Amino acid sequence: MTIKILNKAIKSCLERARKAENYIVKNCCDIVSLPKIPYKSGDKVQVFTDKEQKMFMEAIKDHKYRIEFILTLGTGLRIGELVALRWSDINFENGSLKVNKSIGRGYVIIGDERKYVIQETEPKTPSSIREVPIPDKILEEIKDYKKRQEELKEKYKEVYNDKDYVFANSIGEAILSDTLSKSFVKVLKDNAIRHVKFHSLRHTYATRLFEKGVQLKTVQKLLGHSSIQITADIYTHVMDSEKISAVQKLNDLFEE
């Protein structure tokens, strides 16, 4: 993990030197292959139980960030992918969204100073670039949300800088990941729901798919994992129960 963090920081600095300052011709970090960190089977994957998910859905019925929360639960997007969504990424005709960027924190060099800034970057891996179907009920809520956003743009038109972000604040800037995370944790605390991380919404999405019999390969593609092994390793807790359930379906073969 330390190597990945250092690589990301150095890559950002070198990219600035290449693009803005023309000090170098090529960013050498682009050709460095970092060792993959295997997911440890002992790592705890936090997932909402059915009861907790119902409690959460009830708690956010009129919440400011309801759409952000339910879209994550319904598509499994990473939080950086979620806040980077633009309206041009959503296809209302076929009910899907495209994931092709992410917003997160990173280092840039401004003059002689290194600053920590919010920036839009490419997704985590090439496989993260994907198209994800949106459940019909959520799509209808997004349509209503878009109408409300148009009204907000008109209200604040003097200061609103429209960058086409789906989830924007009152002046058009993308909502920060930290803002959503803190709000999510507060919802759990205020409603006596077990504390889990925002990323658990993504894990919950995948777990519900497995529970409904969706194939491993399909879940891998929806999540944007680079390999099917990563998906299998992370969701071992579901896969084991699914294997038991699958084998039990053979019982009818042994009836006399």
Helix (H) or strand (E) run with residue 133 in it: strand 130-133
Residue 35 has pLDDT above 70, yes or no: no
- Measured N-to-C along each axis, helices 66-75 and 136-155 cross at an angle, to the nearest 10 degrees, of 150
Please give the helix or strand (H or E) that residue 119 lies within, else none.
strand 113-121
Predicted pLDDT of residue 77: 98
- Rounded Cα–Cα distance for residues 101 and 122 (Å): 5
pLDDT at 228 over 50: yes
Question: Would you say residue 76 has pLDDT above 90?
Answer: yes
Q: What is the pLDDT of residues 116-167, one digit of tens each?
A: 677 888 887 889 999 999 999 999 999 999 999 999 999 998 999 999 999 9
Beta 96-99 vs 102-110: how paired, if at all?
unpaired
Q: According to the model, what pLDDT value does residue 42 have?
A: 43
CA distance 167 to 89: 12
Interior angle at CA 115, CA 186 and CA 78, nearest 5: 40
Contact 114, 108 (CB under 8 A): yes
- 90-114 CB burial, b ≥16 within 10 A, e <16: beeeeebbebbbbbbebbebeeeee
Mind listing the domains of the chain with CATH numbers?
A: 1-37 (no CATH), 38-249 (1.10.443.10)
* pLDDT exceeds cutoff 90 at 43: no
* pLDDT greater at residue 155 or residue 248: 155
Instruction: Write out pLDDT tens, residues 165-183.
Output: 999 998 999 999 999 999 9
CA distance 120 to 153: 22
- Between 213 and 95, where is the model more confident? 95
Whether the pLDDT of residue 255 is over 90: the answer is no
Q: What confidence score (pLDDT) does residue 200 get? A: 97
From residue 247, alpha-carbon distances to 131, 240, 243 in Å are: 33, 11, 6
Q: What pLDDT does 39 receive?
A: 47
Q: Answer with the residue of higher pLDDT: 18 or 198.
A: 198
pLDDT at position 57: 98
CB proximity list for 7: less than 8 A, separation 6 or greater: 29, 32, 34
